[in-house]
Amino acid sequence: MDTKIFEKDDVTIRFAGDSGDGMQLTGSQFTNTTALAGNDLSTLPDFPAEIRAPAGTVAGVSGFQIHFGSKQIYTPGDACDVLVVMNAAALKANLKTLKAGGIIIANVDGFGKRDLSLAKYGPEDDPLKDIQTSGYTLIQLDVTKLTRASLKESGLPPKDVDRCKNMFVLGIIYWLFSRDMDSTVSFIEKKFAKKPEIAAANIKALKDGYTYGNATQLFSERYAVQPAKIEPGTYRNITGNEATVLGVAAATKKSGLNTFFGSYPITPASDILHGLSKLKHYGIKTFQAEDEISAITSAIGASFGGNLALTSSSGAGIALKTEAISLAVILELPLVIINVQRAGPSTGMPTKTEQSDLLQAMYGRAGEAPLVVLAPQSPSDCFDMIYEACRITVEHMIPVFFLSDGYIANGAEPWRFPTTESLRSITKTFAKPREATEEPFLPYLRDDKLVRPWAIPGTPGLEHRVGGLEKQDKTGNISYDPDNHHHMTMVREGKKNVVAENIPLQQIDEGEESGKLLVVGWGSTFGSIKAAVRELASEGHSVSNTHLRYLNPFPKNFGSMLERFDKILVPEINNGQLIKVLRDQFPNINFDGYNRVRGVPFTVSELKDAISQKLND
């Protein structure tokens, strides 16, 4: 019997299980297949900080959410339509994310007495029974038993058989959403190329899951989501950290420079180090330093030597780099500092997202130490903005902060990737050698953009010394002269402001160019804000949004844009940081904040509520 297929505009699925259950892999495989099917999509992994928290406990639950549709998708979805839970703890941790009336697919083998107790359900509780009476659709399967039956002839030990459970579930989901399995099959073949028996078992479990979905009477309906109408072109799927890696490779190529990347492992930034360390044949050197300070100071040394130099970390590690960042400011050498922000203060919540290092990036240094601050707004935008960071740092000889965060770093979306040729050029030349008969070289003599020459060792006639002590303008010699220090302080500030001449103008993303309310965001909140504003604008409200990717300096037209709106709302996943900068720079404009610091992205619905409230004020 064929189950009837229903068309859906968009669907959100959440896979949840124990961290050992392979939910991230399941989610990312479903993502790739969905992307290849032509849907627009957005994903959000949600994993525990511990590598292996005690199995079966709520602390050990790992989740992966994907929102996909035949329409444009800007967020991983506020709540899910389908929740897959591999055990009781996964249900406990994720039931709140399920929409009213949603579908739960539960592995009943994960709901035994011990599982319930580990998940801290009471001895009398029967959570599966409870959800049946709460209006949800419950599909119960014994995935362990089904997988073991599927693989009983594989000859694999039970431990390996049980590790194929996630593929059995994925097969069912592929059937439920009428998906093709080819991409996952070839992924498995590649991943287990050296263990063909494991590959065969995983593929069999996947296919048997699909067949099981078809054969069983468990589902009364299945679904199809048509391809989305998105801009024509060739696409791939990409996470923010992957896009950051590719952006560095692209900047290396386009600048013609060699690249040095100094880093110290830290969640959620480490994947950038992993990714770049594979790109040695692209002229990229990676150096895993002994600490955060060495990571950045080695990069400064490489920059002095003429390399495109970058360092990466997250907020707590950035704090350790602070003194070196101010050294780079006074040396006026190129340096990109990547901060993949996470929830703070201190160690905070390493795997959870937050936007709370903006003020650290803007002001968190000794002395007056201005630099450029950029922030990507989505996973794929990490490519564009890290590329911009590299371009600006070498063209202006000024350190540039790149503020990503855990949400876009690990979240994924389809990306219409560029060609090498289409990328903006990066213009930089090193200072030329000088004869002894020429005037002495002046390392701090500036061009009309206030940029000093990049004079690298190995160049005859340019021997010079730089350092953290205040410099005399032009010569770069040590100077304690009061007027010179004032002058140099102003020059460094002015030099940062000149960058505004070399960046794009600020655009309205959704809504009219003027009106009642402008929503101003920055960083990873782009998708939620855009979706909320788009829905409200389509409902007839006078609301627009603009998203800042260049935070210091602001684009030149940003101030005049602000003046064309009656009210301005600034939603941030922090306690109000951009708003402080805005109030400082535009003291005559009134700004209101919407701030939630929960370690999770904004939902579209909470933003709609906040914006509606502001519109009605």
Give me the residues paired with residue 545 across strands.
Answer: 510, 519
Determine, following the binding rule CB under 8 A, whether residue 236 of this chain makes contact with another protein. yes
> What is the b/e burial string over 89-126, where b = at least 16 CB atoms within 10 angstroms of the residue's CB?
bbbbbbbebbeeebbbbbbbbbbeeebbebbebeeeee
| 185-224 residues near another protein, rule: CB under 8 A | none
Determine, following the binding rule CB under 8 A, whether residue 587 of this chain makes contact with another protein. no
Strand ranges across the sheet with 80-85: 40-46, 61-69, 10-18, 80-85, 98-107, 137-141
> What is the b/e burial string over 479-506, where b = at least 16 CB atoms within 10 angstroms of the residue's CB?
beeeeeeeebeebbeebbeebbeebeeb
CA angle 84, 87, 93 (to 5 degrees): 75
Determine, following the binding rule CB under 8 A, whether residue 256 of this chain makes contact with another protein. no
Determine, following the binding rule CB under 8 A, whether residue 227 of this chain makes contact with another protein. yes
Determine, following the binding rule CB under 8 A, whether residue 289 of this chain makes contact with another protein. yes
Determine, following the binding rule CB under 8 A, whether residue 279 of this chain makes contact with another protein. yes
3-state SS assignment for residue 490: helix
Determine, following the binding rule CB under 8 A, whether residue 305 of this chain makes contact with another protein. yes
Q: For another protein, how many residues bind (rule: CB under 8 A)? A: 71
- Which of 232, 345, 482, 587 binds another protein (CB under 8 A)? It is 232
- Contact between 487 and 471 under an 8 Å Cβ cutoff? The reply is no
DSSP state of 143: H
Determine, following the binding rule CB under 8 A, whether residue 249 of this chain makes contact with another protein. yes
| 327-356 residues near another protein, rule: CB under 8 A | 327, 331
Which CB atom, from 181 or from 302, has the smaller least distance to another protein? Answer: 302
Which CB atom, from 130 or from 189, has the smaller least distance to another protein? Answer: 189
> What is the b/e burial string over 15-42, where b = at least 16 CB atoms within 10 angstroms of the residue's CB?
bbbbbbbbbbbbbbbbbbbbbbbbbbbb
3-state SS assignment for residue 433: coil
CA-CA distance, 349 to 272, in Å (whole number)? Answer: 19
Which CB atom, from 60 or from 443, has the smaller least distance to another protein? Answer: 443
Range in contact with another protein (rule: CB under 8 A) among 85-93, 134-142, 264-272, 411-419: 411-419
- Which of 461, 515, 559, 599 binds another protein (CB under 8 A)? It is 461
Determine, following the binding rule CB under 8 A, whether residue 548 of this chain makes contact with another protein. no
DSSP letter for each residue of 320-354: HHHHHHHHHHHHT--EEEEEEE-B-STT-BTTS--
Which CB atom, from 306 or from 555, has the smaller least distance to another protein? Answer: 306
- Which of 54, 196, 468, 504 binds another protein (CB under 8 A)? It is 468
CA-CA distance, 288 to 418, in Å (whole number)? Answer: 30
Token pair for 79: 């709540």
Determine, following the binding rule CB under 8 A, whether residue 380 of this chain makes contact with another protein. no
Determine, following the binding rule CB under 8 A, whether residue 96 of this chain makes contact with another protein. no
CA-CA distance, 104 to 80, in Å (whole number)? Answer: 10
| 65-94 residues near another protein, rule: CB under 8 A | none
CB of 565 to another protein, least distance (A): 34
Determine, following the binding rule CB under 8 A, whether residue 367 of this chain makes contact with another protein. no
Determine, following the binding rule CB under 8 A, whether residue 482 of this chain makes contact with another protein. no
| 169-188 residues near another protein, rule: CB under 8 A | 183
CB of 243 to another protein, least distance (A): 10
Which CB atom, from 283 or from 599, has the smaller least distance to another protein? Answer: 283
In angstroms, how far is the first alpha carbon of the chain from the final one? 56
CB of 257 to another protein, least distance (A): 10
3-state SS assignment for residue 61: strand
Range in contact with another protein (rule: CB under 8 A) among 29-37, 69-77, 369-377, 522-530: 29-37
| 426-455 residues near another protein, rule: CB under 8 A | none
Determine, following the binding rule CB under 8 A, whether residue 99 of this chain makes contact with another protein. no
Phi, psi at residue 84, to the nearest 5°?
-100, 120
DSSP letter for each residue of 505-532: PP-EEES-SSEEEEEEEEGGGHHHHHHH
3-state SS assignment for residue 440: coil
CB of 72 to another protein, least distance (A): 12
CB of 148 to another protein, least distance (A): 31
DSSP state of 577: S
CA-CA distance, 617 to 614, in Å (whole number)? Answer: 5
Instruction: Give the number of residues written for the chain.
Output: 617
Range in contact with another protein (rule: CB under 8 A) among 74-82, 217-225, 290-298, 562-570: 290-298
Determine, following the binding rule CB under 8 A, whether residue 293 of this chain makes contact with another protein. yes
CA-CA distance, 197 to 11, in Å (whole number)? Answer: 35
Determine, following the binding rule CB under 8 A, whether residue 324 of this chain makes contact with another protein. yes
Determine, following the binding rule CB under 8 A, whether residue 364 of this chain makes contact with another protein. no
Determine, following the binding rule CB under 8 A, whether residue 477 of this chain makes contact with another protein. yes
Range in contact with another protein (rule: CB under 8 A) among 95-103, 417-425, 509-517, 533-541: 417-425
Nearest Cα neighbor of 462 from 427, 437, 431, 498 is 431
Distance of CA 381 to the CA centre of its chain: 9
Determine, following the binding rule CB under 8 A, whether residue 576 of this chain makes contact with another protein. no
CB of 421 to another protein, least distance (A): 9
**Residue indicated by tokens 């969905």:** 34
CB of 532 to another protein, least distance (A): 26
- Which of 101, 256, 467, 504 binds another protein (CB under 8 A)? It is 467
- Which of 94, 298, 380, 546 binds another protein (CB under 8 A)? It is 298
- Which of 95, 250, 426, 569 binds another protein (CB under 8 A)? It is 250
Determine, following the binding rule CB under 8 A, whether residue 417 of this chain makes contact with another protein. yes
Determine, following the binding rule CB under 8 A, whether residue 230 of this chain makes contact with another protein. yes
